[in-house]
Amino acid sequence: MGNGARRDGDLYVGWRYNRQVTISREIPEDARIYVAGHRGLVGSAVLRRLAAGGFRNLLTAGRDELDLRDQAAVDRWFDVHRPEYVYLVAGTVGGIWANSQRPAEFIYDNLMIHATVVHAAWRTGATKLLYLGSSCIYPREAPQPMAEDALLTGPLEPTNEPYAVAKIAGIKLCQAYRRQYGCDFISAMPTNLYGPGDNFDLESSHVLPAMIRKFHEARTRGDRAVTLWGTGAPRREFLHADDLADACLFLMREYEGDEHINVGTGEDLPIRSLAELVRDVVAPELAIEWDATKPDGSPRKLLDVSKLRDLGWRHQVDIGHGIASTYRWFVRELASGGVRGVRAAEPVPTSI
């Protein structure tokens, strides 16, 4: 496996496991490419995909080096490095609990990060920028599946409204810079994500990594059941981070539209069914109990991905396969203390 790829279970991390890697003809291999947020779930996947595609001039900056909320600091960094292509995948993210406890952080951090990077990219003449938002931008009662034109047609889901407002502002920011300055800045809205490098903190993670950790810990303790939030009735769509990374490179090459574009699988399932999939992979012997006093969130969130499919892209990692490979990664990294959101090494099952 060349081009910097490594195998993770049955997935070739860094590109879709059944697609041949080809070197881009549209973006020079030595182009200066900046991935903002490279240590997160999406950013790390984008880095792997770019390396696998033969790009050799990849630029990154950790939080200790660059505060993306500081316009002056971002301007200085862009002046020095002059990135030609920018993947803006940085941001403050989390699940229902984190959104409810830290709404000010979620709106402030994301508004500032979007503004500083977009402005610096324009100021230094970046060739193209891809801004990554979230499916939470759509109204709570939007028709399903949610098409791009559902944006701003109704009230948002209250549990993550500040975050959603910031993400909508990011779309409008890119559109404004396109219209006023002629920038080739595009926006993509992914569905719920998961995969290697995810955040497994039970207070700030999203539903799928939280489930993986809960079932894992219950198994190591010898519990008989796991209690999960809500009723299990809401339906959700899930996309593996490596599929999203592949879509990001595809869009950077192929898409130049003013309107944002959805990125997902076009398939959803009840949270109850998701829990059963995770349980069957991690701890088949455990029962599942539901705490209906806790919030469910939006009743359904399924993206209409026909626009992206018409361009020629489709996801490749099915949910069952993705959960299994993510859990194998989780167990390996847990043993070495490398799981984000877990502060100390924990007991690992002797078989997975």
Catalytic residues: 163
CA dist 327 and 333 (Å) reads 10
Task: Report whether 127 contacts 85 (CB < 8 A).
Answer: yes
Judged by DSSP in three states, 323 sits in helix
SS3 content of the chain, % helix, strand, coil (to 5): 40, 15, 45
CA dist 290 and 2 (Å) reads 46
CA dist 156 and 164 (Å) reads 8
| CA-wise closest residue to 218 among 163, 302, 283 | 283
Task: Give per-residue burial for 60-85: e unless 16+ CB within 10 Å, then b.
Answer: bbeeeebbbbeeebbeebbeeeebbb
Give, in degrees to the nearest 5, the angle at Cα 53 between 125 and 316. Answer: 115
The neighbouring-strand residues paired with 303 are: 146
| Dihedrals phi, psi of 262, to nearest 5 degrees | -75, 145
* Secondary element (H or E) of residue 88: strand 85-88
| CA-wise closest residue to 93 among 105, 80, 75 | 105
CA dist 266 and 254 (Å) reads 20
| CA-wise closest residue to 276 among 222, 211, 328, 217 | 211
